[in-house]
Chains A and B, each alone.
Chain A
């Protein structure tokens, strides 16, 4: 595939016949350097953009995290690891970690299986399939800000649609304060997240299911396997790479959750729905404790990094060759 090298080299040796072995070597080396410069030249704009606006900020957060710093001028009040020790004694931040874990656990236990079940249902030929698919995925293309405002109003205590509907069917008891109730806010948030995101995971699974060869399920059918057996022993193992990716995206999403929470509750009531990103935002942009907020960024980065590397090493390892065949769907 990477074909520029050989042909160019060939023409090089053909056009100027080697007068002496030494100059031929030098010529080839010059040719190689030129090729390298051409190849890297194409990378320069992307590299500049990426280094300046992605890598540099992350590195700088790693530096600023060791200072007490209000965000103006350069950081000068070096305090070593104090921000970090403070962070791991901060009940709000420890709560953030717990809530992140809670959202991941809920997603893995409920949201992804739900998405998978619907993907399996929509993977068969039937009337209205395209409409369902479009409808289930539609919330994913809406902005989090719009979704947040919409559900803040739907779950408004008393007048919102949720309480009104529950009242209509005689279940007022199930209604409540929703986002305003410390014990209910995370559950309500998870409902909204499921509404918004399950369609995306369903689409991933559908793409994966399309890549499962029909012959295999048919063979299992002929061998007398029931629907559950066919799903459990044929479809599910073949879908495993897709599931692993979807789990990965779900976790990364939970780590960086910000928009929805900020728009709906700003982390309240009393920090009960705060996430790491919201805490970081509060300290960095509202209280001007930029050093401390940088420490939060660094810990988020560390968690993502450790998770991503461990996941690559132990879970995705098997998928590295050939398993990601669903490319077909997108780029043709």
Chain B
């Protein structure tokens, strides 16, 4: 490679160097590299600031009193007021929201991953009549916005008596999560060599035994990816809990945020503190599971 680069250096310098002095062919002193990448860094820093400022603003505003916020909207808090944050953290309402969101997210993830793994196993390892039709049916589900089904789904849940019941959110979330989860898991299950299955069959494993004792343990990374996706989707869901939970018992964080803003709209600083605390779990989870989340999203999108 170095040889090729060396031999190519001269023509490159001549033909390209004149037109645009900042191509890679130029001299490689640290200073010129810094100068060359300067505009790049300026752009990235500006964009990064635009991304970060709303979040920082919310954090800082949470440390002001509402009075102070209207007098000094942009600067640092002076004095720092901790009572907004501590007040919310001391309230049982907030922790109930966190608990509800967590319970619903975990239940959704368990259900959708379990059911999808079975289906994906059958799609990946069996040849059976109707397989392609069935698979197409599931992939079609990927294209349809949830909003299309929202109204009749609500009527159905009402008829089944599942309003104000966590199952009323868990079951539909799992159902709408199936297509993506099945597609990702099927792709993974297909990569596992057929010899393994033959060996397991010879050792007396039935199809379910192979699935349970061989395939699932091997698929742990893929299962992690789809679980993380399911948790984040459920955690952020707003539309469905809005329809299903009319009483506050089962409200999740997104609903709670909207309600809190309506209730304390005059107390702006407190709403900011509430927003920040509501963001923390999602951002913390993201920082821990970044690889699974990003990997799952890109894989899901490109496979669908």
Contacts and interface: CB of A to CB of B under 8 A. Distances in A.
B79 interface: no
Contacts of A110: none
Nearest to B286: A141
Contacts of A325: 302
B51 A61 contact: no
Interface residues of A, number: 109
A61 B151 contact: yes
Interface SS of B by simple majority = helix
Interface in B207-265: 207, 211, 221-222, 225, 232, 235-239, 242-243, 253-255, 257-258, 261
Contacts of A284: 150-151, 154
Contact of B294 (A5, A203, A301, A332): A203
B295 A331 contact: yes
Contacts of A25: none
B257 A145 contact: yes
A46 interface: yes
A223 to B, nearest CB: 9
A7 B294 CA distance: 38
A91 interface: no
A227 to B, nearest CB: 6
A297 interface: yes
Given A35-B128, A145-B255, A224-B11, A1 B190 contact: yes
A49 B152 contact: no
A179 to B, nearest CB: 14
B148 to A, nearest CB: 5
B122 interface: yes
A35 B122 CA distance: 11
B30 interface: no
B81 interface: no
A305 interface: yes
Contact of A153 (B118, B124, B272): B272
A265 interface: no
Given A153-B271, A200-B297, A226-B23, A330 B122 contact: no
B175 A263 contact: no
B90 interface: no
B294 A137 contact: yes
B65 interface: no
A81 interface: no
A165 to B, nearest CB: 7
Contacts of A207: 294, 298, 302
B244 to A, nearest CB: 12
A106 interface: no
A109 interface: no
Given A42-B119, A141-B283, A304-B148, A324 B302 contact: yes
Contact of A161 (B4, B57, B197, B295): B57
A274 interface: no
Contacts of B285: 141
6 contacts: A121-B40, A146-B254, A203-B298, A221-B25, A222-B8, A280-B151
Interface of B: 4, 8, 11-12, 15-16, 19-20, 23-25, 37, 40-41, 43-44, 47-48, 50-55, 57-58, 70, 73-74, 114-116, 118-119, 121-122, 124-131, 134, 137-138, 140-141, 143-156, 171-172, 174-176, 178, 182, 184, 187-188, 190, 194, 197-198, 201, 207, 211, 221-222, 225, 232, 235-239, 242-243, 253-255, 257-258, 261, 268, 271-272, 275, 278-279, 282-283, 285-287, 290, 292-304
The 8 closest A-B pairs by CB, nearest first: A330-B299, A256-B145, A330-B295, A145-B254, A42-B122, A3-B194, A39-B126, A53-B175
